[in-house]
Structure 1
């Protein structure tokens, strides 16, 4: 019994040593091979012997090719690229007509352009709300009704 206990203890110690040292890999080239070792120990309770099996598994990994564009170092620009106008010619004409008739459109160009396109769809709720907001924000001296009519006229002349 003492001999079986010593043999089992020695086998377990060897198994733990191999398990603790396994799993590391060093890559020296683009093609790499990874080897992992697993030690399995089986002890029979009716017999006083144990057996150890070692399984070695080998796999080859290919390096992954870059999926997208390759990064390049930063470079100094000689000039700032020209910025494109975010509005079409029709939208610019619409905004200019609002400006020329006393509406400060600076900073709300996007909202006014969407409002003008909604007028083309015969939707007046957005137009009326925006007209009221322009008056409340003191962007014009006109009444909400007059601003609403101006938005309608400018949209129909330029956008619709």
Structure 2
């Protein structure tokens, strides 16, 4: 019975793959404009010069023409891709209260790296009067060896810190 169902599953998957159709693209399907490389800085500046010159004239460009696409790119503020030298500063995804909560727990001997979301959610649940999540997370932190405190002390730390910063 198992062998028959395995053969049936294999046949069904073969039919599904066959029904997907052809995934390759013939060269006749590709247009010349889609295969051209991205414009360089000088091409983009000459295109914006051409665009401003054509917008000054009274003849509108066709929607699919290169002038129309460069005009919309110029008005949208888009630029060609360029290499960056450094990563921009990232804003903290935690509120100042949540950050203080996490910092105090970290300073009291708990490794919060990677479990920040879980801890902030637990702290907010403490503010709502729920303690079973706090107790479970405290036990989890101890079992994961993220702290040297016992589960009761860790639960008290989460509770006190949540009331100090989040509630």
- Please provide the CA RMSD for this pair: 2.1
Mapping 1:109-120, distance limit 5 Å: 109-120=116-127
Q: In structure 1, how many angstroms separate the alpha carbons of the residues matched to 2:105 and 2:122?
A: 12
SS at match of 2:153: helix
1:75-96 residue CA offsets vs partner (Å, 9 max, x unmatched): 2224321111111111111011
Mapping 1:20-31, distance limit 5 Å: none
Asked if residue 74 in structure 1 is aligned to residue 96 in structure 2, the reply is no
TM-score (norm 1): 0.54
Q: In structure 1, how many angstroms separate the alpha carbons of the residues matched to 2:87 and 2:145?
A: 35
Q: In structure 1, how many angstroms separate the alpha carbons of the residues matched to 2:103 and 2:83?
A: 37
Mapping 1:133-144, distance limit 5 Å: 133-144=140-151
Q: In structure 2, how many angstroms separate the alpha carbons of the residues matched to 1:83 and 1:115?
A: 25
1:86 matched residue in structure 2: 93
Q: In structure 2, how many angstroms separate the alpha carbons of the residues matched to 1:79 and 1:137?
A: 35
1:31 matched residue in structure 2: none
Mapping 1:32-111, distance limit 5 Å: 72-111=79-118
Q: Unaligned stretches of 5+ in structure 2?
A: 1-61
Aligned length: 97
Q: Unaligned stretches of 5+ in structure 1?
A: 1-61
Q: In structure 1, how many angstroms separate the alpha carbons of the residues matched to 2:87 and 2:151?
A: 41
Structure 1 residue 136: deviation in Å?
Answer: 0.4
Query: After the TM superposition, which of the residue ranges 70-79 and 94-103 deviates more from structure 2?
Result: 70-79
Between structure 1 and structure 2, the one with the greater Rg is 1
Q: In structure 2, how many angstroms separate the alpha carbons of the residues matched to 1:108 and 1:80?
A: 24
1:26-52 residue CA offsets vs partner (Å, 9 max, x unmatched): xxxxxxxxxxxxxxxxxxxxxxxxxxx
Structure 1 residue 72: deviation in Å?
Answer: 4.8
Higher helix share: 2
1:157 matched residue in structure 2: 164
Higher strand share: 1
